[in-house]
Amino acid sequence: MDVLDLARTQFAVTGSLHFLFVVLTLGLAPLIAIMHTRYAVTGRPDHERATRFWGQLYVINYALGIFTGLVMEFQFGLNWSGLSHYAGDVFGAPLAIETLGAFFLESTFLGLWIFGWHRLPTWLHVGCIWVVALTAYASALWIMMANSFLQNPAGAVPRDGHLVLTDPGALLANPALTMALPHVLGAGLWAGGFVLMGASAYQLFRRTSEREFFTGSLRTGVVVALVGSLITVGFGYAQFGAISAFQPGKFDDGGAAGLGLGFMILIGQPLQLVILFVLTPLVYWLPRWRWVQPVLMAITPLPFAAAILGWLARENGRQPWMINGRLTVADAMSPGLTPAMVTGSFVAFTGVLLLLAIVDYVLIARTVRRGPAAVTLGEPAPADPHERAHALSH
């Protein structure tokens, strides 16, 4: 494998692993915000417990996902300086804004939400998690804007050997973005709904003492997965017309893009039909049928697999271009790279990301297994000083 193929493979692997965290973040963030709002309106303890339990899963995934994003930033600097030189003035702007939003605005308000339990006024506390959810969606907008520029470099012209932005509005109105963004956000909701379903089915199958809690969560997961699937599939097919305008034949070459698209549809379309015509009509009875719960657990990873296949199809379909029609992948690479250098960074980055993915899974699985009674997020501090000292020592 030559240095170009190594660099492309590294980006595909690390990008796919990072995207797993992103999809779950986009799926859980609005759900946690809605749960917390319901608790603020009703004051019901079951809504508080749901917010804290599923919120702890979100916090785990977000914290580890930040580190996977850092790996992606390093990768751009190491392997793709040609892209930065040629289009950094355009492509780098939305990435920089997203980074500032994620690391400063989103993380700050998430910290306020985490440590604001029983300290902040109720609606100010709720506002914090809504800011987190909205900034997560804003991050998706900036990332998809940058990626859509690679698909269709609208609003920029070449000048003195690099691209210059002449129409900022064209970035936002890019036809490669307008249908793709809802598609990605829908995929997040789809995945988030399946996580609620799968985790709840696991607890119900174990005959948990928290049956009422996980019965409600399973039914919520079905509804969210239904909404996510309708958005994802609808906007997925809606993209084909726009894509054919600037990348004709993208999925017709029988290569990796066509295969990725084919397998994504092979997973997504039947799964949507199952949600629409089986799970949704039977949503009331699903928590009672023990035999169906292992099936729900088994299909939980499928929306994540479909999301990865969709991302790979989107990226492979414009080869050999890094910026469609403007800059080839070969020209976008950093000069002077050797197979040994790329292999070394490939092994290091992949190892770090795999470790983070394993830790993420283990921590989430442990939280699910222990149930809402063992959640530490939002737990009131002991009132008595001696009790507080005892709690801290343990």
Predicted pLDDT of residue 259? 81
Q: Which two tokens stand for residue 111?
A: 């910290």
Query: pLDDT tens for residues 243-254?
Result: 888 888 777 755
Amino acid at 124: L
Predicted pLDDT of residue 394? 47
pLDDT at 51 over 80: yes
More confident residue, 252 or 58: 58
Predicted pLDDT of residue 392? 44
Q: Which two tokens stand for residue 42?
A: 């009703």
Cβ contact 85:162 at 8 Å: yes
Residues 6 or more apart whose Cβ sits within 8 Å of residue 218: 196, 197, 200, 201, 204, 286, 287, 296
- pLDDT-derived band of residue 319, with 50, 70 and 90 as boundaries? confident
Global pTM? 0.93
Predicted pLDDT of residue 74? 84
- Class of residue 106 by CB neighbours under 10 A (exposed 0-12, middle 13-18, buried 19+): buried
Query: pLDDT tens for residues 97-109?
Result: 998 887 788 999 9
Helix (H) or strand (E) holding 102: none
Predicted pLDDT of residue 293? 96
Query: pLDDT tens for residues 336-353?
Result: 999 999 999 999 999 999
Predicted pLDDT of residue 294? 97
pLDDT at 384 over 60: no
Torsion of CA 252, 259, 143, 145, to 10 degrees: 10
In the chain, alpha helices (H): 3-42, 45-79, 81-100, 107-115, 122-151, 168-172, 175-178, 180-205, 211-246, 256-274, 293-299, 302-316, 329-332, 339-370, 385-393
Which residue's entry shows tokens 């306020």? 112
pLDDT at 391 over 80: no
Predicted pLDDT of residue 380? 83
The pLDDT of 123-127, averaged and rounded, is 98
Share of the chain above pLDDT 70, in %: 95
State whether the Cα torsion 267-306-24-171 is positive or negative: negative
Query: pLDDT tens for residues 21-48?
Result: 999 999 999 999 999 999 999 999 999 9
- Class of residue 251 by CB neighbours under 10 A (exposed 0-12, middle 13-18, buried 19+): buried
Q: Cβ of 137: how many Cβ atoms within 10 Å?
A: 15
Predicted pLDDT of residue 71? 84
pLDDT at 382 over 70: no
Q: How far apart are CA 130 and CA 126, in angstroms?
A: 7
Query: pLDDT tens for residues 288-316?
Result: 999 999 999 999 999 999 999 999 989 88
Of 68, 81, 3, 89, residue with least CA distance to 322: 81
- Class of residue 302 by CB neighbours under 10 A (exposed 0-12, middle 13-18, buried 19+): middle
Query: pLDDT tens for residues 258-290?
Result: 788 889 999 999 999 999 999 999 999 999 999
Predicted pLDDT of residue 354? 94
The pLDDT of 43-55, averaged and rounded, is 97
Adjacent-strand bridge partners of 158? 163
- Class of residue 40 by CB neighbours under 10 A (exposed 0-12, middle 13-18, buried 19+): middle
Predicted pLDDT of residue 254? 56
Predicted pLDDT of residue 19? 94
Query: pLDDT tens for residues 146-165?
Result: 999 999 999 999 999 999 99
Grouping H, G, I as helix, E, B as strand and the rest as coil, residue 328 is strand
